Amino acid sequence: MRKRVISFVVLSVALLIVLVELFPIMVVIVNGFKRDIDIWSKNPFYFKPTLRSYQLIFRHREFPRSLRNSFVVASLSALVSVSLGSMAAYGLSRFNFKFNDALIFILLMVRMIPQISLAVPFYMIFRSIGLNDNVLGLSLAHISFNLPYVVALLLPFFSSIPKEYEEAAKVDGCKTFQIFLKIFFPLASAGIVVAAVFAFLMSWNEFIYALVLTGTRAKTAPIVVNAFMGQYAPLWGQLSAAGTIMLLPVFAVTLSLQRYIIRGLSAGGIKG
Partner 1 sequence: MFVLPALIVVGVILAYPVIYALVISFTDRELLYLGKTNFIGLKHYREMLLDRNFWHSLRLQFGVITIAIPIELIIGLFVAILFNRDFPFSKILRSLLMLPVFVLPVLSGLTWRLMLQPSYGVLASFFNFISLGPTAWLADTRYAYVAILLQDIWRMWPFMFMIIYAGLSSMPSEYVEAARIDGANFFQRFWYVLLPYLKPVIATAFLLRMIDALRIFSEVYVMTYGGPSNATMLLSLYIHKQAFEFGRLSYAASVAVFLLIVALFISYFVVKRGLRGEVE
For the segment 83-122, give every residue that binds partner 1 (CB under 8 A).
84-85, 87-88, 90-92, 95, 97, 103-105, 107-122
The least distance separating partner 1 from the CB of residue 232, rounded to whole angstroms, comes to: 15
157-186: which residues touch partner 1 (CB under 8 A)? 176, 180
Neighbours of 268 (CB within 10 A): 20
Give the whole-angstrom CA distance, residue 18 versus residue 14.
6
The least distance separating partner 1 from the CB of residue 164, rounded to whole angstroms, comes to: 20
Q: Is 7 in the site for partner 1 (CB under 8 A)?
A: yes
Residue of 28, 56, 161, 181 that binds partner 1 (CB under 8 A): 28
User: What ranges in the chain are assigned the alpha helix state H?
Assistant: 2-32, 36-39, 52-58, 63-94, 100-110, 115-129, 135-159, 163-171, 176-178, 185-187, 189-205, 208-213, 221-227, 236-256, 261-266
122-151: which residues touch partner 1 (CB under 8 A)? 122-125, 140-141, 143-144, 147-148, 151
# residues near partner 1 by CB under 8 A: 94
Residue of 2, 42, 59, 61 that binds partner 1 (CB under 8 A): 42
The least distance separating partner 1 from the CB of residue 101, rounded to whole angstroms, comes to: 9
Computed on alpha carbons and rounded to an integer, the radius of gyration of the chain in Å comes to 23
Burial class (CB in 10 A: 0-12, 13-18, 19+), 139: buried
How many Å separate Cα 120 from the centre of its chain?
22
Q: Is 245 in the site for partner 1 (CB under 8 A)?
A: no
CB neighbours of 199 closer than 8 A, spacing ≥ 6? 77, 78, 81, 82, 146, 149, 150
The least distance separating partner 1 from the CB of residue 173, rounded to whole angstroms, comes to: 19
Q: Is 46 in the site for partner 1 (CB under 8 A)?
A: no
Cβ closest to partner 1, residue 15 vs residue 51: 15
Burial class (CB in 10 A: 0-12, 13-18, 19+), 240: buried
200-229: which residues touch partner 1 (CB under 8 A)? 201, 204-205, 207-208, 211-212, 222, 225-226, 229
Cβ closest to partner 1, residue 69 vs residue 144: 144
The distance in angstroms from the start CA to the end CA of the chain is 48
Cβ closest to partner 1, residue 118 vs residue 174: 118
Q: Is 22 in the site for partner 1 (CB under 8 A)?
A: yes
Q: Which of 186, 188, 179 is nearest to 161 (CA)?
A: 188
The least distance separating partner 1 from the CB of residue 45, rounded to whole angstroms, comes to: 9
How many Å separate Cα 33 from the centre of its chain?
26
Cβ closest to partner 1, residue 57 vs residue 246: 246
Q: Is 74 in the site for partner 1 (CB under 8 A)?
A: no
